[in-house]
Amino acid sequence: CLSLAHCLQEPKVAGRRGRSTSLKERQPSRPQNERANSLDNERSLDTRCHLQIPRKTVYDQLNHILVSDNHLPDSIILINTSDWQGQYLSDMLQNHHLPVVCTCTTADIQAAFNTIVSRIQRFCNCNSQTPIPIKIAVAGAQHYLSAVLRLFVDHLSHKTPDWLGYMRFLIIPLGAHPVSKYLGTIDYRYNSLFQDAAWRDLFHKPEAPVIVQENPDVVSRVTQYMVGANGAHQLPIAEAMLTYKQKSPDEDSCQKFIPFIGLLFLPSGDSDDAAPMGSSLLSSTPPQVSPALKEATPTPPSSPSVNASFCAYSSSGQAELMGLQVDYWVAPTERKKDMEKRDSSSKNTLKCNFRSLQVSRLPLGGAEPSPQPTMSMTVVTKEKNKKVMFLPKKSKDKEVESKSQVIEGISRLICTAKHQQTMLRVLIDGVEWNDVKFFQLAAQWSSHVKHFPIGIFGHTKGPY
């Protein structure tokens, strides 16, 4: 599993991982808000970390694809090669001379994205016409796409709005991938390529098979997608604000703003039902770290910090239920707007013991996005076990111990632990954050970068 490198010598960014970016790649501009300011500070500090060094291979592959400032390639394929799935896919595609860039660390991903943005800028400086959108395929699990999403939001927050049309991202799932699963519900051709049993059976295994069958035809599927995905689907970007414990004793807490397009999951660690809807998200990450990555990954600090990791959470052992208070606001419908004008307080509160909590930015059931930006929340709570010794029907008590509830149309949400000393573990699009005091979610990112452009064949749900 791919882990974001950690700069131990910078106490002010302790626990913040993987934000090194070459500042010379960016045009000087004033940050638009405190989110951009925070990202700037992270990047400038992390560039000093000697662990954040991209491999020369990444630049060699990029230079082979981006050959001229006057011409941009039609497509680039970014692959997470820190696990066997990416290594296998990259070997297959490179044998057919497809434009592959292999990334093993966060520094590799950042170097690749920085270079692509820089070359687009050079093209715009040398040409009067608007560039045709570059198709950037992102091959990996959900956590890999999350790293690309953060870079997209970070860079384009400093660009003019027309930049939102210069890139289009193609999703090639290698392992658990809720966003890919969602795309399969709105695009029949995409579903047939990347959500069928043959593709899942090959790429969702935690370990490489001894003998890999030629079926499915991996190269053919990827090529069909790269050539035929000429439609665009705008996935809305939500915002998570984490307030977490800082390593430095001088600071009580820090905040971090994280964009996400898929799922936020709060597991309790109860192995029986920690992931009611997110089990597919959490079960397919390879458990071993590649040898190349071990050299670039230091031991996490023992003191409290936010550890961003590309490893999806795997519940182990028994844990206490989470005592949480969840305040959420439901977006008003046309009927409710008049009523809510009279009552400005539309807050709802859940305060109980949770087994798990999941928030999704993806439209439920493959539905088209609603006019208002909203999220849906799935909670599993544990009811108190009624121990009545003189009644023989004890088995029925266990059946009602867990209660699941789905709440739709949420515009904003705040989650805190009942006890201040309790720290939360949060997974955002497959990336784990630890020692979180509380978090706040908004259904829409605050800058002008509000959507993530996905390449699809078209909005077709299959033959009828």
Range of the domain at 42: 11-236+450-456
Q: Is the pLDDT of residue 354 over 50?
A: yes
CB-based contacts of 57, cutoff 8 Å, min separation 6: 102
pLDDT greater at residue 46 or residue 241:
241
pLDDT of residue 168: 97
Collapsing DSSP states into helix, strand and coil, what is residue 226?
Answer: helix
Phi, psi torsion values for 326, nearest 5 degrees: -115, 110
Confidence grade of residue 208 (pLDDT, cut at 50, 70, 90): confident
Confidence grade of residue 207 (pLDDT, cut at 50, 70, 90): confident
pLDDT of residue 122: 93
Q: Are residues 269 and 388 in the same domain?
A: yes
Q: Are residues 386 and 275 in the same domain?
A: yes
Q: Report the distance separating Cα 463 and Cα 332, nearest Å.
A: 36
Residue 464 lies in a domain: no
Residue 171 lies in a domain: yes
Average pLDDT over residues 12-21: 33
Which secondary structure element, helix H or strand E, spans residue 378, and what is its range? strand 375-382
pLDDT digits 0-9 by tens, 144-164: 999 999 999 999 999 999 999
Q: Is the pLDDT of residue 35 over 80?
A: no
Closest CA to 377 of 278, 455, 293: 278
What percent of the chain is modeled with pLDDT above 70?
66
Residue 462 lies in a domain: no
What percent of the chain is modeled with pLDDT above 90?
50
pLDDT greater at residue 112 or residue 32:
112
Q: Is the pLDDT of residue 415 over 70?
A: yes
pLDDT of residue 147: 96
CB-based contacts of 213, cutoff 8 Å, min separation 6: 202
Residue 421 lies in a domain: yes
- For the CA atoms of 97, 99, 104, 107, the dihedral, rounded to the nearest 10 degrees, stands at 150
As for how many domains the chain has, the answer is 2
Q: Are residues 135 and 52 in the same domain?
A: yes
Residue carrying structure tokens 């093993």 = 104
Q: Are residues 295 and 418 in the same domain?
A: yes
Q: DSSP readout, 63-124?
A: HHH--BTTB--SEEEEEETTSHHHHHHHHHHHHTT--EEEE-SHHHHHHHHHHHHHHHHHHH
Beta strand spans in 193-291 (E): 231-236, 238-245, 253-260, 263-267
Q: How many CB atoms lie within 10 A of CB 56?
A: 8
Q: Are residues 227 and 243 in the same domain?
A: no
Q: Are residues 160 and 247 in the same domain?
A: no
pLDDT of residue 372: 82
pLDDT of residue 54: 86
Q: What angle do CA 447, 104, 194 make, to 5 degrees?
A: 75
Residue 461 lies in a domain: no
Residue 6 lies in a domain: no
Residue 254 lies in a domain: yes
Count of residues in the chain: 464
Sheet of strand 100-103, all strands in order from the earlier edge strand to the far edge = 100-103, 75-80, 134-140, 167-173, 451-456, 231-236
Closest CA to 439 of 168, 258, 177, 252: 258
Q: Are residues 340 and 352 in the same domain?
A: yes
- For the CA atoms of 25, 29, 34, 36, the dihedral, rounded to the nearest 10 degrees, stands at -20
Q: Are residues 111 and 33 in the same domain?
A: yes
pLDDT digits 0-9 by tens, 192-203: 999 999 999 889
Q: Are residues 173 and 104 in the same domain?
A: yes
Confidence grade of residue 249 (pLDDT, cut at 50, 70, 90): low
Q: Are residues 201 and 249 in the same domain?
A: no
Average pLDDT over residues 210-218: 72
The pTM assigned to this predicted structure is: 0.76
Residue 2 lies in a domain: no
pLDDT digits 0-9 by tens, 257-308: 999 999 999 887 543 333 333 333 322 333 333 333 333 333 333 222 222 2
Beta strands 134-140 and 75-80 are: parallel
Q: Are residues 227 and 247 in the same domain?
A: no
Q: Are residues 141 and 100 in the same domain?
A: yes
pLDDT digits 0-9 by tens, 440-449: 999 999 999 9
Q: Is the pLDDT of residue 409 over 60?
A: yes
